[in-house]
Structure formats: structure tokens, C-alpha cells
Structure 1
Amino acid sequence: MSLSPFSPLSTLADAQPFARDGFTFRPLAVPSRGSAELAVWALDLVPGARSETHSMDREEVFVVVDGAVSATVADREVSAGPGDAIIVPPHATLQIRNASTAEPARLTVATSVGMRAIVGGAPFTPPWAQ
């Protein structure tokens, strides 16, 4: 049995983008890119972007790189800027949004491999997490 060579580098330039409702996801560390336990992606939000209210079956952490982000996490309102982290417990409801209607926002998101979302009452496995 031959194993494919391990590459410790996953570049943003080679990450396949997935777009949804003003959000662009670029997977960095996911199973399809060699990560066995963690899932990490870059997330860009266009000005005014707002996610659907949803939940995840795993903890998720959003770290703001650029811009301003607001979120509703389990009915609690939070605002975050560069260097801040929004921590979302498993099964907590979440709506995340770009707090600016003029400037984009960029985040790095971390969770664990195998996460699934519930959107509109239906399970959803995000393609950017695979």
C-alpha cells in the first residue's frame, strides 16, 4: 500500500472558493486538503452580508482578520473587530453578519472535521468543510 506524500502547506491561492449569500468560503485545512481532525477556512463577507440563522453540531470559532462583524449566538448579540474571536458552542443558534454596509470583512474559521449544520430544520454538510 502506497501513501500519498504529506504536504504541510495548504495555500489560500489553491483553495476552491464556495460562495453563498455574500459569503465566500476558502477551505484551508479540511479532509480533502490533508487535515484529519481540524477544519479551518478563510471567510470573506461582502458589505452587509448576513447569514441564515443556523446551528452546527460542533464548536466553531470565528476570528476576525479585517473589518467588523456582529453575530447573534444563542440569542446573545456580540460585535467583533480584528483580533477578536466569536465562539459558538455546539448546537447554539447562530446568525453572523458583516457589521459594515460599505467595507468587506475577512475571518478565519475553525471547527472540527465532520461538522454538520442545521439550516431551516434540515441537516447540511458544508462542502467547504470536507
Structure 2
Amino acid sequence: MSLSTLADAPHFARDGFTFRPLAVPSRGSSELAVWALDLEPGVSSETHSMDREEVFIVISGTVSATVADREVTAGPGDAVIVPPHATLQIRNASGQEPARLTAATSVGMKAIVGGASFTPPWAQ
């Protein structure tokens, strides 16, 4: 068994989102990809999709999301489940407080943004 600590996780910042990989291939995981995700107040992602299912569990704060054209709002303990290839836009619902989530998917996930496919660096 190996240990991957949040304190030692690399940071990847993108437009108000900070990704910190916990269980990914570069940190010892062979099947699952899990990372901590911090959202600055009021931040909103670009619309994108993934080729694998992805689950976001809200640890603190409130997030809203558009998943395949359906609006959802989630608070601590709630999970936002995104099917493969569904469009997603995720937002911090608060303009004053940060939000913290845990994201989980499977190793090898690719993101699709503006028609371009890539493996996010925090998932490797």
C-alpha cells in the first residue's frame, strides 16, 4: 500500500480552479484518478466534456453545474455525476466563499474543450 498526501500533491492552476492530484498514475494509482479541486469565489469553467464518467463530491461551499443542459446545485456531501461525453460547466455558486471538491474518474480520461481532446496534467 502506498500513501499519497495532499500536502505533497503538485498544484495545477487553471482560470480560478486549482487541481491537486491524489491518486493518479504518477502518484501510484493504476485504475482510478482522484484529485482535490479548489474553486475561487464566483469562478466558472468553460463548457467541456470528458470521455469517461466523472464524479465531483462537494467538501465545502456550494457549486452549481450544467450537466448535459440540466442545472444542478450541490452542497457539502452531495455528488455531481457527469456521464461520459456529457457537456459540463461547473461553477462556484458563491461570489464570496471558495468551494472545495473531490473529483474522481478513471485513469486515461480525456477532456474535450472546443473540439480538442487532451489528457489533463492533473489526471496523469
TM-score (norm 2): 0.99
Structure whose CA Rg is larger: 1
2: CA distance, partners of 1:82 / 1:66: 5
- Verify: 1:99 aligned to 2:88, yes or no: no
In the alignment, which of 66, 71, 74 is matched to residue 65 of structure 2?
A: 71
- State which of 34, 40, 59 in structure 2 corresponds to 1:40: 34
Displacement, 1:71?
0.1
User: Does structure 1 residue 114 correspond to structure 2 residue 108?
Assistant: yes
Q: Letter of the 2:17 partner, please give it.
A: F
Matched ranges for 1:50-69 at <5 A: 50-69=44-63
Segments of 5+ residues of structure 1 without an aligned counterpart are 1-6
Q: Percent identity?
A: 85
String of CA shifts for 1:13-41, please: whole Å, max 9, x gaps: 00000000100000000000000000000
- Secondary structure, counterpart of 1:32 in structure 2: helix
Which contiguous aligned blocks of 4+ residues in structure 1 show a shift greater than 4 angstroms? none
Gaps spanning 5+ residues in structure 2: where? none
Q: Give the secondary structure class of the aligned counterpart of 1:13.
A: coil
Which residue does 1:4 correspond to in 2? none
> 1:8 aligned to 2:5?
no
Give the counterpart letter for 1:86 in structure 2: V
Offset, 1:104 = 0.1
Q: Deviations over 1:71-109 (max 9, x none)?
A: 000000000000000000000000000000000000000
CA distance in 2, matches of 1:124, 1:96: 19
RMSD over aligned CA atoms reads 0.6
The match for 1:30 among 24, 48, 64 is 24
Cα distance between partner residues in 1 of 2:24 and 2:115: 25
